[in-house]
Structure 1
Amino acid sequence: MLEWVRRVVRRVGEVDAELVRRSASLPRTPADPALGAVTVAANHGLLWFGVAAVLASREGVTRRAALRGVAALAGASLATNAVAKPLLPRRRPLDDLVPEHRRLVDRPRSSSFPSGHAASAAAFATAVAMESPAAGAVVAPLAAAVAYSRVHTGVHWPSDVLGGAVLGSAVALATRRWWPVRPTAPSRARSAERVAALADGDGLVVLVNPAAGDADHDPSAELERVWPAAKLVRLDGSGEADLPAALDEALRGDWRSVRALAVAGGDGTVAAAAAVAAQRELPLVVVPAGTLNHFARDLGVPDVAAAAEAVAEGSAVRVDLGAAVVDDAPPRWFVNTASLGGYPTLVRLRERWADRWGKWPAGAWALVRVLAEAKPLSVRIDGKPTRVWLVFVGNGGYQPKGFAPTWRPRLDGGRIDLRYVRADTRLSRLRFALAALTGALSRSRTYVQRELTSVEIEVLGPPVALACDGEVHAEGNRFRFVARDRVLRVYRPDTAP
Structure 2
Amino acid sequence: MADTSRLASLLADADRRVFRFAATRHWPGAEPVLPRLSTAANHGLLWLGAAAGIAALGSGARSRRAAARGLASLTLASATVNTVIKHAARRERPGLDQVPVIRRLSRQPVTTSFPSGHAASAAAFAAGVALESKGWGAVVAPVAASVAFSRIYTGVHYPSDVVAGAALGVGAALAVRGLVPTRSQMPSPGRPFAQAPRLPGGEGVVVVVNRSSGSSELASLVADALPRAELVECAPEEVDGELEKAAGRCRALGVLGGDGTVNRAAAVAVRHRVPLAVFPGGTLNHFAYDLGIESPHDTCRALAEGDAVRVDLGRFTPGPGGAAHGYFLNTFSLGVYPELVRVRERWAPRIGGWPAGVLAALETLRGAHQLRAEFEGEHRSLWLLFAGNNIYQRMGPTPGRRHDLADGLLDVRIVHGGRLPGLRLLAAALSGPLSKSPVHAAERMRRVRIGGLAPGTSLAYDGEVAAAPEELVLDKAVEALTVYRPQVLAASAF
TM > 0.5 fold call: yes
Give the aligned partner of residue 259 of structure 2: 267
Shift in Å, 1:105: 4.1
Q: Distance in 1 between matches of 2:303 and 2:92?
A: 67
Query: Once structures 1 and 2 are overlaid, which stretch shifts more, 74-83 or 105-114?
Result: 74-83
Question: What aligned pairs does 1:68-467 form with structure 2 within 5 A after superposition?
Answer: 68-96=69-97, 98=99, 102-175=103-176, 181-183=182-184, 187-192=189-194, 194-199=195-200, 204=205, 206=206, 208-214=208-214, 216-217=216-217, 219=219, 223=223, 226=226, 228=228, 235-236=234-235, 238=237, 243=240, 250=245, 255=248, 259-326=251-318, 330-346=324-340, 367-400=361-394, 405-424=399-418, 428-437=421-430, 440-458=433-451, 461=454, 463-467=456-460
Distance verdict in 2 for CA 1:63–1:467, change over 3 Å: same
Structure 2 counterpart of 1:445, one-letter code: P
Shift in Å, 1:417: 1.5
- SS class of match (2:393): coil
Structure 2 counterpart of 1:52, one-letter code: A
Give the aligned partner of residue 55 of structure 1: 54
Structure 1 counterpart of 2:152, one-letter code: V
Shift in Å, 1:314: 3.8
How many residues align? The count is: 479
Corresponding position: 1:25 with 2:15: no
Shift in Å, 1:110: 1.8
Query: How well do the aligned residues superpose, as a CA RMSD in angstroms?
Result: 4.0
For structure 2, the 5+ residue unaligned runs are none
- SS class of match (1:399): strand
Distance verdict in 2 for CA 1:99–1:228, change over 3 Å: closer
Q: Distance in 1 between matches of 2:277 and 2:235?
A: 20
Distance verdict in 2 for CA 1:395–1:157, change over 3 Å: same
Distance verdict in 2 for CA 1:409–1:99, change over 3 Å: same
Q: Is the contact between residue 16 and residue 157 of structure 1 (CA under 8 Å) also seen in structure 2?
A: no
Q: Is the contact between residue 223 and residue 229 of structure 2 (CA under 8 Å) also seen in structure 1?
A: no
- SS class of match (1:25): helix
Give the aligned partner of residue 487 of structure 1: 480
Q: Is the contact between residue 177 and residue 439 of structure 1 (CA under 8 Å) also seen in structure 2?
A: no
- SS class of match (1:271): helix
TM-score normalised per structure 1:
0.80
Q: Distance in 1 between matches of 2:66 and 2:415?
A: 30
Q: Is the contact between residue 24 and residue 99 of structure 1 (CA under 8 Å) also seen in structure 2?
A: no
Q: Is the contact between residue 210 and residue 261 of structure 2 (CA under 8 Å) also seen in structure 1?
A: no
Q: Distance in 1 between matches of 2:8 and 2:344?
A: 49
TM-score normalised per structure 2:
0.80
Q: Distance in 2 between matches of 1:31 and 1:246?
A: 60
Give the aligned partner of residue 12 of structure 2: 16
Shift in Å, 1:132: 1.7
Distance verdict in 2 for CA 1:401–1:143, change over 3 Å: closer
Q: Is the contact between residue 466 and residue 472 of structure 1 (CA under 8 Å) also seen in structure 2?
A: yes
Distance verdict in 2 for CA 1:484–1:32, change over 3 Å: same
Shift in Å, 1:216: 4.6
- SS class of match (2:26): coil
Structure 1 counterpart of 2:119, one-letter code: A
Q: Distance in 2 between matches of 1:142 and 1:116?
A: 15
Q: Distance in 2 between matches of 1:459 and 1:119?
A: 57
Distance verdict in 2 for CA 1:32–1:216, change over 3 Å: closer
Distance verdict in 2 for CA 1:280–1:208, change over 3 Å: closer
Distance verdict in 2 for CA 1:197–1:121, change over 3 Å: closer
Q: Is the contact between residue 182 and residue 406 of structure 1 (CA under 8 Å) also seen in structure 2?
A: no
Query: Once structures 1 and 2 are overlaid, which stretch shifts more, 341-350 or 272-281?
Result: 341-350
State the Cα deviation string for residues 25-82 of structure 1 (Å, max 9, x = none). Answer: 3422326524333222222223223323322332523333334433443444444434
State the Cα deviation string for residues 435-476 of structure 1 (Å, max 9, x = none). Answer: 434663344333333322122234655543211111222234
Distance verdict in 2 for CA 1:8–1:387, change over 3 Å: farther
Q: Distance in 1 between matches of 2:331 and 2:458?
A: 14
Structure 2 counterpart of 1:16, one-letter code: A
Q: Is the contact between residue 207 and residue 229 of structure 2 (CA under 8 Å) also seen in structure 1?
A: no
State the Cα deviation string for residues 101-131 of structure 1 (Å, max 9, x = none). Answer: 6443432122223322122212322222233
Structure 2 counterpart of 1:90, one-letter code: R
Shift in Å, 1:485: 0.8
For structure 1, the 5+ residue unaligned runs are none
Structure 1 counterpart of 2:288, one-letter code: A
Q: Distance in 1 between matches of 2:143 and 2:429?
A: 34
Identical columns (%): 43
Q: Distance in 1 between matches of 2:41 and 2:389?
A: 46
Q: Distance in 1 between matches of 2:359 and 2:222?
A: 37
Shift in Å, 1:393: 1.8
Q: Is the contact between residue 198 and residue 311 of structure 1 (CA under 8 Å) also seen in structure 2?
A: yes
Structure 2 counterpart of 1:267, one-letter code: D
Structure 1 counterpart of 2:86, one-letter code: K
State the Cα deviation string for residues 308-348 of structure 1 (Å, max 9, x = none). Answer: 44444444321111112258852111122222222234457
